A and B are shown apart, each in its own frame.
Chain A
Amino acid sequence: MSTYRMHLLVCGGTGCQASDSRQLADNLQAQVLMAGMGKEVQVVTTGCFGFCEKGPIVKVLPDNIFYVEVKPADAEEIVSEHVLKGRPVNRLLYVEPGMKERIAEHREMPFYKKQLRIALRNCGFIDPEDINEYISVDGYQALGKVLTEMTPDALLVLMKKSGLRGRGGGGFPTGLKWEAAARNKSDKKYIICNADEGDPGAFMDRSILEGDPHSVLEAMAIAGYATGADCGYIYIRAEYPLAIHRLVIAIGQARQAGLLGENILGTGFSFDIEIKYGAGAFVCGEETALIHSIEGERGEPTNKPPFPAESGLWEKPTCVNNVETFANVPPIILNGPEWFSSIGSEKSKGTKVFALAGKVNNVGLVEVPMGIKLREIIFDIGGGIKDGKKFKSVQTGGPSGGCIPAEHLDTPIDYENLTRIGSMMGSGGMIVLDEDDCMVNVAKFYLEFTCDESCGKCTPCRVGNKRLHEILTRITEGKGTMKDLDNLKELGGIIKDTALCGLGQTSPNPVLSTMKYFWDEYVAHVVDKRCPAGVCTALLSYYVLPDNCIGCTACRRVCPVSCISGEVKKVHEIDQTKCIKCGACQKACKFGAIVRK
């Protein structure tokens, strides 16, 4: 990168591409050429910057200027003003909500200030389609180091010492997992990268594969060396075309460079990688189901033990790690286990990437040290709740996670603490809920997801979750009883206790955690037949406030079921027996005369 005096980094992640960043990059390139700066200024399409709320992103190096919400038409001004005249385009700089000043440097942005990027270190920095860019940021050095300077045993010791734990949900120590696979003797072993990211809203694995695919390939080869495997599979959902495209390019380039395939770097170590496409079944993120899917069988979990490290793919010792876990490996090797374990909390080392979403100002991918407080993520990095509303809860850990209330906002986030307060780390989904969200409805939403995605194999998950969902539906329709609440709790507990795989064992979490922290809301639905957040339509009614109604007939005219009566200039009335609670009347009324309660 040193031959250019300036770089324009354009986000080429799926989110920004959907907002035309590809055209933007083309326009920038064209403008640079037109300005005759082709040899001095390089336009680079990178992976995701994480700040998806404000995409497409353009970052200018070495000035470190960070442009947000850039449109293809802005290319001309960026080149003519910034590139040619050195004057940053003020209107494209970021403004923090509630502040007036624009912020030019991304380091100064609250969104980035508290982040520490290890897994995402190269995302938004290098061109993921060029292996040389990865190599220029120390890529494949870790692989070189382990192959030439370390024995597999020493590597296992290092990994255990680092304290790295699985980032896909389970949090199992990676070094121990590798060691188990290494200890089992076999003529063939496999490394699998689990890229079957399925939690609603989570996209860190996709971003890593789109923005830094080589880091995963390098780590898989390292894992192969540690465990004695010579064959790797990346199991990735087919809905990730860009990630797949970049992986294919990366694997090709790595083979060409002798960094994958036979006799890597002349060390006698061989390792190659194949991509397997998943059809998007959530349960295939469970490692035994994933393995069966690769084998061509139905993607269903099987009982553990035997663990994959003992009998995995085609009954051979197999090590399954998630994308983010792998992305952490090369820096650990290069910077040492002490460096890594100095970051984070006592039992959870390093950083974690969270996909921040929901009712928060700054939606995006954030990587933070373990042990950071929820409050810091949501209010400092996330910029607080949208539209000045009140924080209610944050749902972490994907559909099997739980809802954490305000009282736990200052809990340091790590594996143990999240589990202790009824949720889990999961793959790092973080959905912020505000006062307008009904917690019963939220629980129902997540349960609907698990019902749809259950593989249907074991009774508690197949039938039990269905029954939980039915009870929740009854409650949101105002037909619930206190007995239903008892049954929810009891059945939820039994499902956790008896389901076959991780999906089923955690699926009642949203219900159980909301019952624990928002019990009053459940009781309001059941006893008072009222939805305090005003979400459950069956429990709502629209009324005319006689004092405000001037009899304009606007509401009467829009009512799709003609349930509003009243003459001009006389107070109108809604027939509750006919009302379908669509809310059209409230929208049509200009005098605030229609209320929902």
Chain B
Amino acid sequence: MRLVTIRINNTEYTVPEHYTILEAAREAKVNIPTLCHMDLGDLKAVNHVASCRVCMVEVEGRRNLAPSCATKVTDGMTIHTNTPRAVKARRTSVELLLSDHPADCLICEKNRSCDLQKLAADLGVRGNLKYKGAMSTYREDISSKSIHRNLDKCILCRRCETMCNEVQTVGILSAVDRGFETVVSPAFGMPMSETMCTFCGQCVAVCPTAALTEISSLRQVWEAINDPDKFVVVQTAPAVRVALGEEFDMEPGTIVTGKMASALRMMGFDRVFDTDFGADLTIIEEASEFIHRLQHGGRLPILTSCCPAWVKFFEHQFQDLLDIPSTCKSPHEMFGAIAKTYYAEKFNIDPKKMVVVSVMPCLAKKYESARPELTGEGFSNVDYVLTTRELGMMIRESGFNFADLEEGEFDNPLGESTGASVIFGATGGVIEAALRTAYEWLTGETLEQVEFHALRGLEGIREATVKIGDLDVKIGVAHGLGNARKLLEAIRRGEVNYHAIEIMACPGGCVGGGGQPYHHGDAEIIKKRTAAIYREDAGKPKRKSHENLQVMKLYKEFLGEFYGEKAHELLHTHYTAREKI
């Protein structure tokens, strides 16, 4: 690595020559404000369009100002980050953006978590704007169940495009039109619901303003809770408990399972359950399906099907491979099906009066819960899906002091879980959990070392070979749909062979989901959540799904055989080839 010497604000620094001015400045602890810039480090998502022109700095010998995010350092470069000229230019860029941005911060979805709002405040933009004029107005897109597009608030940072096109390779969002009319849109201005959008929500996760947010179900959930006729059951996904604390300014990676359970109960949910129960159940079914395919010459590899964005992705993009994903429903859908049958029956509750609310780190789960095959006769498996962010909002609305809440417990019987279900929240976790069970079932031996470290980490595509008895089981893991596409295309071309593959649409897995508290471009937050997931697993007395006694009891009392007829009816689904537009 070659080093170069540069001067920033009259201090000399030696930095690698591939650095941008911004990278060098950050290392030197010199703050240059940015807006469109985004670099998610190990998650390999970089937005380098340099479109906002906020990070402009003065470089000696250069005619005009330089965007620090997109300008590489050169030896002897002399940079000034805070001259009146640079500061004025920066401020003007922000003022220009504000001149075409609704000033409704107080009632905006992103109030207090908006990058533009923070930047304007930091730069001291107050009172009247110097430049005023026409404002862009577009029709809001609320066509889907997941993503709310309000382009009046779009500042064309193009981060969403980077996520959609480069990282996820879904290719829905792109800038169209020119000049002041430029707007980020699906082709032909189609509503999101009619596109190939997977609703992974990574566009929402990185949007600096409220141009892209979730379609909220918050009001409907409050109404259900307040309706005395309704029996409202809530379940929370594993990735929620390691991120919810961030909504209350807690350190990322703080595990708040107990406080969350207390808060949910205090808000008035009739039962507070755990999606982890559904995850353990998923492992029983998926491991059974895997072993069945292995022993009966079924098609391999088996692909996990927990991630609804991934499911929609392959329905559009890999129609020829529709028979390889597992037919298992996702954990929260399994949970909903069991809650409205087994649990309702057992406790004599009218399933039509039961409302199942899922708290998820995900936006695609909102879309998934409305899929026709998952909305059964007379009732849906899951009625409403809330994001981690929406739950944070409900807790704040309730006026609880979250940090001071007591450590509560989930209700039983649908509250029991093992460490295997917790790791569903991180990339590689589902397949690791499945291996823990499949290993013991196939070999009849006890698995002592339950952690499969080769399957962990943030490498986009990972693989490992696990010896189960005489068999070398080849496992693949991909997170991020772009990586998933690479893996699937290699399988389609016959270049690689696996027995089982886990795919999660979001970089990092569910911890990096589109419904999580905003990370504001800091990938360390996602790493800390991941670490918390594995910590939670390590602290669990039981770490294999088949050790979940309540799940076993469910089979004994209600479902019968693993992967049997009743299980098929309630816990499995099918896929539909979708148009590739």
Residues of chain A whose beta carbon lies under 8 Å from any beta carbon of chain B: 281, 283, 298, 300, 302-303, 305, 451-460, 462-467, 470, 487, 491, 494, 496-500, 505
Contacts and interface: CB of A to CB of B under 8 A. Distances in A.
B177 interface: yes
Contacts of B145: none
B133 A470 contact: yes
A497 to B, nearest CB: 5
A463 B99 contact: yes
A189 B98 CA distance: 43
Interface in B82-141: 85, 88-89, 92-93, 96-97, 99-100, 130-134
Nearest to B130: A487
Contact of A281 (B96, B158, B174, B178): B178
A459 B51 contact: yes
A500 B130 CA distance: 22
A47 to B, nearest CB: 32
Given A462-B179, A500-B53, A487 B131 contact: yes
Contacts, number: 108
B175 A467 contact: no
B22 interface: no
B32 to A, nearest CB: 14
Interface in B139-183: 155-156, 158, 174-175, 177-182
Contacts of B215: none
A456 B184 CA distance: 11
A467 B179 contact: no
B120 to A, nearest CB: 13
A458 B179 contact: no
B56 interface: yes
B70 A497 contact: no
B429 interface: no
Given A281-B178, A456-B182, A467 B96 contact: yes
A457 B130 contact: no
Contacts of A496: 64
B96 A505 contact: no
Interface of B is mostly: loop
Contacts of A298: 174-175
Contacts of B175: 298, 300, 456-457
10 contacts: A453-B179, A454-B178, A455-B179, A456-B156, A456-B182, A464-B96, A466-B133, A466-B134, A466-B179, A467-B131
B408 to A, nearest CB: 48
Given A454-B179, A465-B179, A499-B53, 17 more contacts: A281-B178, A452-B178, A456-B177, A458-B51, A460-B53, A460-B93, A462-B182, A463-B97, A463-B100, A466-B134, A470-B133, A491-B131, A497-B56, A498-B64, A498-B93, A500-B53, A500-B67
A459 to B, nearest CB: 5
Contacts of B65: 497-498
Nearest to B182: A456
Contacts of A451: 179-180
B133 A457 contact: no
The 7 closest A-B pairs by CB, nearest first: A456-B182, A463-B96, A303-B70, A470-B133, A454-B179, A467-B131, A466-B180
A466 B88 CA distance: 19
B71 interface: yes
Nearest to A299: B178
A494 B90 CA distance: 9
B49 interface: yes
Contacts of A464: 92, 96, 131
B179 A305 contact: no
Nearest to A457: B51
B242 interface: no
Interface string B43-57: 000001111111010
Nearest to A464: B96
A196 to B, nearest CB: 15
B528 interface: no
A305 B17 CA distance: 14
Interface string B316-346: 0000000000000000000000000000000
A457 B49 contact: yes
A470 B134 contact: yes
Residue from B70, B96, B182 having most chain A Cβ neighbours under 10 A: B96
Nearest to B98: A463
Interface in B11-68: 48-54, 56, 64-65, 67
B93 A457 contact: no
A430 B64 CA distance: 27
Nearest to B56: A498
A200 to B, nearest CB: 16
Given A498-B64, A498-B89, A456 B178 contact: yes
Interface string B357-387: 0000000000000000000000000000000
Contacts of A281: 178
B499 interface: no
Contacts of B174: 298
B61 to A, nearest CB: 14
Nearest to A452: B179
B77 to A, nearest CB: 13
Nearest to A466: B180
A456 B158 CA distance: 11
B364 to A, nearest CB: 27
Contact of B92 (A300, A453, A470, A491): A491
A540 B123 CA distance: 43
Contacts of A452: 178-179
Nearest to A451: B179
Residue from B158, B179, B182 having most chain A Cβ neighbours under 10 A: B179
B72 interface: yes
Nearest to B129: A467
A563 to B, nearest CB: 31
Nearest to B96: A463
A217 to B, nearest CB: 32
A462 to B, nearest CB: 6
A582 B239 CA distance: 69
B180 A456 contact: yes
A281 B182 CA distance: 14
Contacts of B158: 457
A497 B178 contact: no
Residue from B49, B93, B97, B180 having most chain A Cβ neighbours under 10 A: B180
A500 B96 contact: no
B263 to A, nearest CB: 41
Residue from A456, A463, A465 having most chain B Cβ neighbours under 10 A: A463
B133 A494 contact: no
A9 B242 CA distance: 82
A121 to B, nearest CB: 35
Nearest to B91: A494
Nearest to B174: A298
A460 B52 CA distance: 8
Contacts of A498: 53, 56, 64-65, 89, 92-93
Contacts of A466: 100, 133-134, 179-180
Contacts of A303: 48, 50, 67, 70-71
A505 B66 CA distance: 12
Nearest to A300: B175
A281 B176 CA distance: 13
A550 to B, nearest CB: 48
Contacts of B177: 456
A462 B158 CA distance: 14
A340 B100 CA distance: 51
Nearest to A468: B131
A455 B93 CA distance: 17
